[in-house]
Amino acid sequence: MDARFHNSSANDTVTSTRSDTMSKFQGTILIVLLCIGLALLGWYTFEVSGNFDERLQTGIAQLDAIKEKINEPVQWEYKLESFPDRSFDQRINAMGRDGWELVFARRASDGSDYSPSFSYELIFKRPKKVESQLPAKKQNSSASNR
């Protein structure tokens, strides 16, 4: 019988004598592709990531600036108001829309014994609006460019 055919039990199966290994051409192509991949990896490592220290230092400086801003104490401004009973709801809601937070409230009278008028004495607070240093620098740099 031919070497390519093998007769086993009642089934005739065809087995190939051709080898399943890579040819020289396929091996060469694989080596070339690996070399190209290594070259691209080297280029990325040295060119793209080359200024990594500079970017790292810039990032650290930005984080330090954010940390200082977060850790600086909040400065508050306070406001003392007195609202009559009839306009209490509207006035306190208006103060809240303007960013004021109620800290203390008490009901007070004008001191009259016969017909006292009552009002609310309220203390509000809100964070002070901090002037940003960034716009000032932009204005100075635009003035120096003229």
* 19 and 65, same domain (yes or no): yes
13 and 32 belong to one structural domain:
yes
Express each pLDDT in 51-95 by its tens digit: 777 888 888 999 988 888 888 888 899 999 988 878 888 998 999
pTM over 0.85: no
Residue 145 lies in a domain: no
CA pair distance 133, 9, nearest whole angstrom:
91
What pLDDT is attached to residue 98?
93
Residues 65 and 1 in one domain: yes
The CATH number that applies at residue 94 is: 3.30.70
Give yes or no: residues 1 and 59 share one domain: yes
Domain residue limits at 102: 76-127
- Residues 6 or more apart whose Cβ sits within 8 Å of residue 109: 116, 117, 118
Domain for residue 23, yes or no? yes
Same-domain check for residues 1 and 66: yes
Dist. CA 11–CA 2, nearest whole Å? 16
